[in-house]
Chain A
Amino acid sequence: MNIIDLTVHELQEKLKNNEVTITEIMDAYINRINEKEPEVEAFITTYLEEAKAKARDVEDKVKSGEITGDFAGIPIGIKDNICMKGTKTTCASKMLENFVAPYDASVIEKLKDENLISLGKLNMDEFAMGSSTENSYFKKTKNPWDLNKVPGGSSGGSAAAVAANLVPWALGSDTGGSIRQPASLCGVVGLKPTYGLVSRYGLVAFASSLDQIGPITKDVKDSAILLNLIAGKDEKDTTSEEVPKKDYVKALKNDVKGMKIGVPKEFFGEGINKEVKEQLEKAIQTYKELGAEIEEFSLDIAQYALATYYIIACAEASSNLGRFDGIRYGYRTPEYTNLKDIYKKSRSEGLGDEVKRRIILGTYVLSSGYYDAYYKKAQKVRTLVSNEFSKAFEKYDIILTPTAPTTAFKIGEKSSNPLEMYLADICTVSVNIAGLPGISIPCGVDNEGMPVGLQLIGNKFKEETILNAAYAFEQKVKFREMYKPEFKK
């Protein structure tokens, strides 16, 4: 048995049967990080000594009966835009290079309540803006399947760390695909919950009306387990919603007989890589074999989702990122002559190109004289996209698409062409625009052995439906048993 190969539910089983201890698990991960992190570069910050001490402490308390619960001592990795009290939360930005969060995000409180142990903070595109994690100020995370390739983004550190077994699972955040797309490129499972299911309190905002925190895991069952932990109304986030508590693990019935799956043809058109399409077609075939009813349909409005997304997300970002002004915390330019100068220089020097690009775009679309033509119109299209999805869900239980138009691309391949990079989100953004839940699971590999992701989209707060469908597929295809990251150099 190799501890780091196990899923969390397998670890829990072994802990229960006393086949493994909390400190053994921790040691295994620390060794793995020491061994593979130099190659993968998934972390911005690690605190392995603290984690080790914490594991010993938790183990003692479990033995004495002071602590109970299935999650005591389970390691986890956290995307570096989620605040953890007393630790650096950098958002992969020079602006927050030395920012120590003074409070815990609500999801972190939940993890701490269950005595999970964080191994560190994971790399990402700066302020979650990007699709390759190349926009990190600190480092470029590598795809564990091929170290010359990107892990996707923006939660590239989280996805790569899970794929490389540096952490058993991780939290990411998803504004336009930032959990699902890297999960797809790294061959792991990534779930973006319905907008409002998980509290955003303590998640450094990129686009408030689109951001959601979600799990990145080795398999679907772990995804359901972690969702159980973090879901729920939070008084500190008024956009989080009161929904009846569900057990997402119980929803994994491994049965999709009679399930109606809609396949929108627009998601299989131009721009989608041929090998991705082939794998998707095989996946559709698998679902048919499992007894699901597949039907092709048209989701015409989806073609406007990407433009809508970039207007709304950038508009909100331009306002959300205003607080990084060099006054109270974060980077301040060393030399300045007046207040305006502090603002100009601190922000010019402290923020990266992609972030500045989006702030400028967002400022533009909110400016007087342009507001109606861009922001307001985008909001209208957003409503149309939502309506179109609602209509589809009158007919279908889930909607099936590719997660990303391509498999992982080479580091540097798209970083000079922002528009091409934006297309990496083409399959995922409409899900955020409509506030729906979406999951990406690996469904196969391309000719180079790089993983291909399958996206399942559900109706609002129907996480159990997509988790069940994903689980059935996973049980049938057994991707993890067939393929493993090779750390190709």
Chain B
Amino acid sequence: MSREDYEVVIGLEVHAELSTKTKIFCSCPNEFGAAPNIHTCPVCMGMPGALPVLNEKVVEYAVKAGLATNCEISMNSKNDRKNYFYPDTPKSYQISQYDKPLCEHGYIEIDTKDGNKKKIRLLRIHIEDDAGKLNHDEFGGGSLVDLNRAGVPLIEIVSEPDLSSTDEVDKYLKKLKSVLEYIEVSDCKMQEGSFRADVNVSVKKKTDTKLGTRTEMKNMNSFRSITRAIEYEVERQIDILEEGGRIEQESLRWDDVSGKTFSMRDKEDAEDYRYFPDPDLVAIKLSNEYIENVRKNLPELPESRHDRYINEYKMSEKDAGIIVSSKYLSNLFEEASNICKNHKAVSNWIISDISRILNEKEMEPNEIPFSSEQLANLVILIDKGTISSSIAKKVLTEMFENPREPEEIIKEKGWIQISDEGAIKEIVLKILEENPGSVQDFKAGKDRALGFLVGQAMKATKGKANPQMLNKMFVDEMKK
């Protein structure tokens, strides 16, 4: 049989840290990056006798996420303990949700490669507390426990096995990430681990109706690793089946360096988490009014912005897609457009140069160092003719390097466009004198010669001359 005879089935469990001010069961700050064990208290350190109190904001954020992904919200839900021993888990159990999650039966729509829309169903979204972090061997032998992250609120978003390619996985994750950013429940910083996925992969012959045995790769936190890991795992599984072997249901660890998956533990160690309702916490009861109130206060979602950009601004489907893919870019677009009143120019800057630089620098949109006002001012400077668009590109690069007002940059660098008629004329006459051949070509009807002359003038002025004025003056002079 060949590879084409196989179908890939992928399901994802995404963990997103919620950006509430405090942790899920205590009032310690929910902040990344403090010195070890600073953001801790008896509750999140699992001290004897300490008790959890559920942060209401966590419920609200999870309900928001549920509503934004078309889930049904459970009016009656509860917290359960998932028991296991590990040094990063100070209570020796995680407080999660077992049989009554807050949100169920939702979906997310993605655009597939063939231009169609596909619904990826969500099984559930539930709330739970994050574990601490172990620092291995940092201080010469042994491991140290940092509990700053213990008790950081998480939602786990479990998809049905509806994904069938790495392209779909990529789109699903990006869409999910953008939705969570839009509703402002998670900052989804993958490099800080606040958005990470467990990936379940299986393959089956297209003719088979039953799903194949799946393997799980845990805690993946980059799109690239996820894609590579799935590709590797699919090949591995097909190879095994083609050789007549059997897939073991197991947890695998993806190693980015070798580009391979490894078995994490043998089956003998299969954990029994002994889930049971947490007797320290009362049931989570939500009223219809509460849910409707959260729904009413949901911010505009990416789909809606996408459609609005196409209708209001006549943006192409593709451009609108790029801008709404990140709430930060979309907000940048709206705010800057509002100030400079030139949405076309702003969207062009975002889609081309800004996206390119982000890509080159491997930056997330929310890491853009300048403000929407500064971007708007850049556009205004072009529109006023103070700088040319080629200068503007240099200004933008500078704004990424050393963010400040574009006006300040061009003054400092002496990049103000030459729009003085006398000065332009002086340059034009000089270039004409130096290039008699091009003048003859132009007069012989070769329009290309004009472009060459303008280019020479720009070069001579280091791009500062106003190109429209140059154009006009060259033509005028040569027609004299």
Complex Cα spacing A164 to B93, Å: 41
What are the residues of chain B within 8 A of A316 when measuring CB–CB? 279
Cβ proximity bits A190-219 to B, threshold 8 Å, 1 near / 0 not: 000000000011111101110000000000
Answer yes or no: A371 CB below 8 A from chain B CBs. yes
**A83/B51 in contact, CB under 8 A:** no
Contact, CB under 8 Å: A201 / B50: yes
**Cβ of B45 under 8 Å from chain A:** yes
CB of A328 within 8 A of CB of B145, answer: yes
A148 proximal to B (CB < 8 A): no
Complex contact B92–A204 (CB within 8 A): no
From B42, B53, B276, give the contact of A375 (CB < 8 A).
B276
Are A235 and B53 closer than 8 Å at their CB atoms? Answer: yes
- Contacts A239-B282, A319-B92, A327-B145; A103 near B53 (Cβ below 8 A): no
What is the minimal beta-carbon distance from B460 to any residue of chain A, in angstroms?
72
Whether A208 pairs with B83 at a CB distance below 8 angstroms is: no
Flag if A319 contacts B54 (CB, 8 Å).
no
Given A208-B279, A209-B279, A319-B83, A105-B92 contact (CB < 8 Å): no
Flag if A368 contacts B272 (CB, 8 Å).
yes
Residues in B with CB closer than 8 Å to A318 are: 83, 274
When the two chains form their complex, are residues A339 and B92 in contact, meaning their CB atoms are under 8 A apart?
A: no
Q: Is A238 an interface residue (CB 8 A)?
A: yes
Residue A315, interface by CB 8 Å: yes
CA distance A106 to B274 in the complex (A): 30
Other-chain residue from B42, B49, B53, B274 in contact with A205 (beta carbon distance below 8 A): B49
> Is A236 part of the binding interface, using a Cβ–Cβ cutoff of 8 Å?
yes
Q: Tell me the residues in window 170-186 of chain A with beta carbons closer than 8 Å to chain B beta carbons.
A: none
Total interface residues in chain A, CB < 8 Å: 44
Contacting pair B274 A366 (CB below 8 A): yes
In the complex, A443→B35 CA distance in Å?
60
Asked if A237 contacts B51 (CB within 8 A), the reply is yes
Give chain A residues whose Cβ lies under 8 Å from the Cβ of B87: 325, 327, 339
Q: Which of B45, B48, B276 contacts A204 (CB 8 A)?
A: B48
B406 at the interface (CB under 8 A from A): no
- The yes or no answer to A298 lying at the interface (CB within 8 A) is no
Whether B91 sits at the interface, judged by CB under 8 Å, is: yes
Cβ-based interface call for B90 (8 A): yes
**Given that A238-B282, A366-B276 are known contacts, is A319 also in contact with B85, CB under 8 Å in the complex?**
no
Q: Are A367 and B272 in contact (CB under 8 A)?
A: yes
Are A102 and B42 also in contact (CB < 8 A) when A209-B279, A323-B48 are? yes
Tell me whether A96 and B81 are in contact (CB under 8 A).
Answer: no
Report the count of interface residues on B (CB-CB < 8 A). 28
**Cα distance A209–B52 when bound, in Å?**
14
Question: C-beta contact mask, A137-172 vs B, less than 8 Å → 1, else 0?
Answer: 000000000000000000000000000000000000
Query: What is the minimal beta-carbon distance from A434 to any residue of chain B, in angstroms?
Result: 15
Q: Scoring A residues 327 to 358 as 1 if CB is less than 8 Å from chain B, else 0, what string do you get?
A: 11100000000010001000000000000000
Cβ-defined contact, A323 with B91, below 8 A: yes
Interchain CB contact under 8 A, B276 and A319: yes
Q: Assess the A201–B51 pair: CB atoms within 8 A.
A: yes
Whether A428 sits at the interface, judged by CB under 8 Å, is no
Task: Verify A200–B45 contact, CB threshold 8 A.
Answer: no
Q: Which residues of B lie under 8 Å from residue A237 when comparing CB positions?
A: 51, 53
Does B46 count as interface, using CB distance less than 8 angstroms?
Answer: yes
From A91, A99, A101, A208, contact of B280 by CB (8 A): A208
**A99 pairs with B45, CB closer than 8 A:** no
Within 8 A of A (CB), among B28-54: 42, 45-54
Contact in complex: B93, A322 (CB < 8 Å) = yes
Is A367 within 8 A of B274, CB to CB?
Answer: yes
Known pairs A208-B280, A239-B282 / 12 extra A-B pairs, C-beta < 8 Å = A83-B47, A201-B51, A205-B49, A207-B279, A318-B83, A322-B85, A323-B46, A323-B90, A324-B48, A327-B87, A328-B90, A328-B145
A and B contact pairs by CB, cutoff 8 A, 13 listed: A91-B48, A99-B48, A101-B48, A205-B48, A208-B280, A238-B282, A239-B281, A239-B282, A316-B279, A319-B276, A322-B91, A368-B272, A368-B274
Residues of B at under 8 Å CB distance from A? 42, 45-54, 81, 83, 85, 87, 90-93, 145, 272, 274-276, 279-282
